[in-house]
Amino acid sequence: MNDSVTIFSLGGLGEIGKNMYVVRYDDEIVVIDCGRKFADEEHPGVESILPDIRYLLENKELVKGIFITHGHEDHIGALPYVLPRLNVPVFGAPLSIGLARSALQEHGLLRNVKLKEVHDHSTIRFNKISISFFRTNHSIPDSLGVVVHTPEGAVVHTGDFKFDMTPPSGPGVDFGAIAQVSKGKVLALLSDSTNSERVGATPSDSTVGESIHRLFQKAKGRIFFSTFASNVYRLQQVVDAAHITDRKVAVLGFSMDKAFRISEELGHLTIPKGMLIDAKDLRKYRPEQLVILCTGSQGEPRAALARISTASHPSVELLPGDTVILSSAPIPGNTRKVYRTIDRLFRAGAEVVYGPEVDIHTSGHGSQTDQQLMLQLIQPRYFIPIHGEHRMQVAHAQLAEDMGIPPRNIFVLENGETVQLTRKRGRRGEKIPLDLTVVDGSGVENNFGIVLKDRRRLAESGLVLVLLTVDRKKPILRGGPEIITRGFVYVRESEKLIDDMRTIVLETLDSCLERNITSQNRWKAEISQRLDRYLSRKLQRQPLILPIVTHA
């Protein structure tokens, strides 16, 4: 191994979610974040998408630990699926570790994992590299930037950040610590690109608190408030507004309840005594006395708000005069689900408050001014825009170039692409092969790309079954071919098409026998290929074709 620092991502580039970044120097590897991404309509039947960790498993004896920047699902959500296969220590701030511990407990994994709390002044030392941290602002407390110190210089990972000069609670960004990092030789900066297309600075979360107070004072009936469960600052603002307007707070949704409990235990949430009530006691209070905090701001079909919108929640239903406040912006890929939920809420007669014009949400990610300030503070030799869709990375790269970083020192990467950096030279290295890894009903599925392709074909074009009965001893057709379709064509109106497909199957079998091909797997493959070409040309559709051979 040479003296270069190798940097790459196993998730988080060209996408929003499943963040996992790897820094390697010689025989030591550190991993930053371990997130998942919720599946969208492009992934039918999939619950969530995980980083492909085959590289880490192949080099597991070199992996020193996983370092968590903060406690959002797209940064810790893959831990229950990764740690059973890669049992290394996990380092994070108290709230991040608290949320991770709860998730691992749900999966029955706490006994075998090593969770280690760190703070912004902690240093973790290994043989050749060490790790330090600095405090940042995000929409969740205990957010950290991570610094990997190597003999070639420091690699700085910002985590998700913005520069909030008036945070609603807790300390702000530690400018002194960031300045201290920049006094050394910063080899590379990996920086959050989410809002790189937005000019100016991201507004403070304090402005949202003022809007929430106004909305609570205006509302006449019950208030349903939906936001990210881990947006602890927003949860505190809801509690504060409820206290001022003399309302009780009920919490709906497992993740919301968990965030409340852990945040209160760690001192990040202050809740007046007697304010929290159980959802089963809602009928004991008048509508104007209630705030109902619920999950589902991203349109998740099983979340509390979606179930309320479809009148399928077991204990809560919408009433005339209710106000629903959505304090979040749709994650890319979730927009349609969010607006379907909003439509259903309107149909149910609720007053729905949403969108940027009412100042009920501000991003936890820095915009261009924040990103420029981070670049100016860190002064890196090399720059790698991370955490964002490709256009966001490109915009961030242009911003870095405008700030004076030479284009040759800026690397816009895709997942699996590596860069090898030294003080004198930076270059692209070999690409690490990655495949789709998902969680579906049966657990973790690796190499899922082929299965997903088949699912998409089924969803878009349907299924064609070709049933053949073959002699047990000789390659002779005893029955069929019988053509059965599902979700493809209406059979009664497509008799000629079905007959043509039977003819193609028979011609294919005759051709195989003329060429002395007796392998039934070859028969299936050629039948599939020829039918696929025919249907694609005839109907511009490509159903999933499954030849099935039985024996008689």
Q: Known binder of ligand: residue 551?
A: no
Strand partners, 25: 5, 28
Q: Torsion-angle region of residue 69: left (phi > 0), alpha (psi -120 to 50) or beta?
A: alpha
Cross-sheet strand order for the sheet of 477-486? 477-486, 463-470, 544-551
Q: Is 121 annotated as a binding residue?
A: no
Any alpha helices (H) in 445-539, and if so which ranges?
A: 449-461, 495-514, 520-539
277 strand-pairing partners: 250
DSSP string computed for 166-208: S-SSS----HHHHHHHHHS-EEEEEEE-TTTTS-S-PPPTHHH
Is residue 435 marked as binding? Answer: no
- Of 189, 173, 137, 99, give the one whose Cα is nearest residue 363: 137
Spatial distance between the Cα atoms of 226 and 234, rounded to a whole number of angstroms? 10
Establish whether 387 is an annotated binding residue: yes
Catalytic residues: 192, 365
Residue 231 annotated as binding site:
yes
Q: Is 221 annotated as a binding residue?
A: no
The reply, when asked if residue 107 is annotated as ligand binding, is no
Contact between 261 and 254 under an 8 Å Cβ cutoff? The reply is no
Q: Is 370 annotated in some ligand binding site?
A: no
75 marked ligand binding residue: yes
What are the beta bridge partners of residue 223? 291, 323
Give, in degrees to the nearest 5, the angle at Cα 374 between 372 and 379. 95
Please indicate if the annotation marks 364 as binding a ligand: yes
74 annotated to bind ligand: yes
Helix (H) or strand (E) holding 39: none
| Residues 225 and 240 sit within 8 Å (Cβ to Cβ) | no
Q: Is 321 annotated as belonging to a binding site?
A: no
Cα–Cα distance, 425 to 62 (Å, whole number): 25
Determine if residue 363 is labeled as part of a ligand binding site: yes
> Which residues are annotated as part of the binding site?
45, 70, 72, 74-75, 138, 160, 229-231, 361-365, 387, 440
> Which residues are annotated as part of the binding site for Ca(2+)?
45, 440
> Which residues are annotated as part of the binding site for substrate?
229-231, 361-365
> Which residues are annotated as part of the binding site for Zn(2+)?
70, 72, 74-75, 138, 160, 387
